[in-house]
């Protein structure tokens, strides 16, 4: 009996150790290969210039158009999704607490939407564009990406708001607050560190997705100056460079991947620093 337990314990410890190591190794390998291939091609020119003629054949230029385009697109979509998603998540957790079944149904459908591949969102966005007579543009891309990340953002926020204890809801109501005061003055503050994570998660999906913007934002070598212009994005830029037969261009794709990774890194760090300001008021129940 003793021996049996000992072996069992040992087995699962080894299993956990190996799966953790495996994941970390794969992650390191990806980062390493991006850096290994990308860093030599990364130059100030890459970051500060738009593609010149013949860029995709190895001539000079950079991916500034895609950097700016990606930032416009994903920041716009994240803001829009936040404005729509936050009330939904709060509504589910403050107003609908009495209706468990309804909330669980909503959760089920959001999970379904989360699972739909982004190319389907792209196709859906494209259909809407045709219906409205829009051309490929930044605006169409923002709308499509917003639709695509809303389920992610709402569910992630919902998971955070679910952890706010019921007693805090009761307390707030018993002080005479309305439901909306409870939602925006109490729940928001208690959950803010987690909500930042939810926003970051969605931002990461928005900036890294290629399929949903393929039909909707189009591609251009210029930096967009209005919402109705087509826009380049980093994932698509990487895609186009990788499909080139010229090795130099392929390496630039990896340099673009480095840029994309660094952008996500910078935004994560900024958001974490900002959320720490509110963290101190969070009550640990």
Partner 1 sequence: MEKGVKILVRDLNLHFGKNHVLKNVNVTIPEKKITVILGPSGCGKTTLMKTMNRLTDIYPDVKVSGNIFINDEDILNTQQDITILRQKMGLLSQRPYPLPMNIYNNVAYGLRISGRRKKRYLDKRIEHYLTMANLWDEVKDRLKESASRLSIGQQQRLCLARGLAVDPEIILADEPTSALDPISSQAIEEKFVELKKNYTIVLVTHILRQAKRIADHVVFMYLGEVIEQGPADQIFNHPRKRSQNRILKDCSISILHFAFCILQ
> Which segment (108-116, 130-138, 163-171, 223-231) binds partner 1 by CB under 8 A?
163-171
Least distance (Å) between residue 171 CB and partner 1: 4
Q: Which is nearer to partner 1, 152 or 164 (CB)?
A: 164
The answer to whether residue 280 forms part of the interface with partner 1 (CB under 8 A) is yes
Q: What is the residue-wise DSSP string for 256-267?
A: HHHHHHHHHHHH
The answer to whether residue 283 forms part of the interface with partner 1 (CB under 8 A) is yes
Interface of this chain with partner 1, residues 119 to 138, rule: CB under 8 A: none
Least distance (Å) between residue 197 CB and partner 1: 17
Residue 246: its H or E element:
none
| Sequence-ordered list of residues with C-beta below 8 angstroms from that of 252, at least 6 positions apart, any chain | 41, 46, 63, 241
Find the angle CA(88)-CA(233)-CA(75) to the nearest 5 degrees: 35
Q: Which of 49, 177, 250, 268 binds partner 1 (CB under 8 A)?
A: 177
Angstrom distance (rounded) from CA 163 to CA 89? 13
> Which segment (16-24, 123-131, 164-172, 238-246) binds partner 1 by CB under 8 A?
164-172
**What totals of helices (H) and strands (E) does the chain contain, helices first?**
12, 0
Q: Which of 7, 14, 175, 265 binds partner 1 (CB under 8 A)?
A: 175
Least distance (Å) between residue 59 CB and partner 1: 56
Q: Which of 13, 59, 185, 276 binds partner 1 (CB under 8 A)?
A: 185
The answer to whether residue 99 forms part of the interface with partner 1 (CB under 8 A) is yes
Q: Which of 7, 22, 30, 97 binds partner 1 (CB under 8 A)?
A: 97
Per-position b or e across 81-114, b if 16+ CB within 10 A of its CB: bbeebbebbbbbbbeeeeeeeebeebbeebeebb
Find the angle CA(110)-CA(235)-CA(151) to the nearest 5 degrees: 10
Q: Which of 98, 115, 130, 225 binds partner 1 (CB under 8 A)?
A: 98
Q: Which of 189, 211, 221, 261 binds partner 1 (CB under 8 A)?
A: 189
Least distance (Å) between residue 176 CB and partner 1: 4
Nearest CA among 59, 26, 30 for reference residue 45 = 59
The answer to whether residue 186 forms part of the interface with partner 1 (CB under 8 A) is yes
The answer to whether residue 169 forms part of the interface with partner 1 (CB under 8 A) is yes
Q: What is the residue-wise DSSP string for 116-173?
A: S-HHHHHHHHHHHHHHHTPPS-HHHHHHHHHHHHHHHHHHHHHHHHHTS-HHHHHHHH
Q: Which positions lie near partner 1, rule CB under 8 A?
A: 97-100, 165, 167-178, 181, 185-186, 189-190, 280-285
């Amino acid at each position: 009996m003793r021996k049996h337990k000992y072996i069992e314990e040992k087995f699962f410890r080894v299993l956990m150790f190996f799966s953790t190591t495996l994941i970390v190794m794969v992650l390191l390998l990806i980062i390493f290969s991006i850096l290994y291939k990308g860093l030599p091609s990364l130059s100030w020119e890459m970051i500060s210039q738009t593609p010149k003629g013949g860029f995709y054949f190895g001539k000079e230029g950079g991916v500034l158009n895609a950097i700016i385009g990606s930032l416009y697109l994903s920041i716009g979509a994240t803001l829009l999704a936040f404005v729509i998603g936050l009330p939904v998540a709060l509504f589910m957790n403050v107003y609908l607490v009495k209706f468990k079944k309804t909330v669980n149904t909503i959760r089920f459908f959001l999970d379904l939407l989360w699972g739909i591949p982004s190319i389907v969102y792209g196709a859906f966005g494209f259909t809407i564009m045709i219906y409205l007579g829009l051309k490929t543009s930044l605006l169409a891309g923002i709308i499509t990406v917003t639709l695509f990340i809303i389920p992610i953002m709402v569910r992630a926020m919902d998971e955070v708001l679910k952890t706010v204890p019921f007693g805090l809801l009761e307390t707030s109501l018993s002080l005479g607050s309305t439901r909306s005061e409870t939602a925006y003055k109490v729940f928001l503050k208690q959950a803010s560190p987690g909500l930042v994570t939810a926003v970051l998660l969605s931002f990461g999906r928005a900036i890294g997705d290629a399929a949903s913007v393929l039909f909707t934002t189009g591609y251009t070598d210029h930096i967009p100056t209005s919402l109705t212009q087509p826009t380049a994005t980093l994932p698509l830029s990487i895609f186009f460079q990788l499909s080139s037969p010229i090795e130099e261009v392929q390496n630039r794709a990896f340099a673009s991947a480095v840029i994309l990774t660094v952008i996500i890194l910078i935004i994560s760090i900024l958001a974490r620093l900002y959320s720490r300001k509110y963290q101190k008021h969070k009550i640990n129940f």
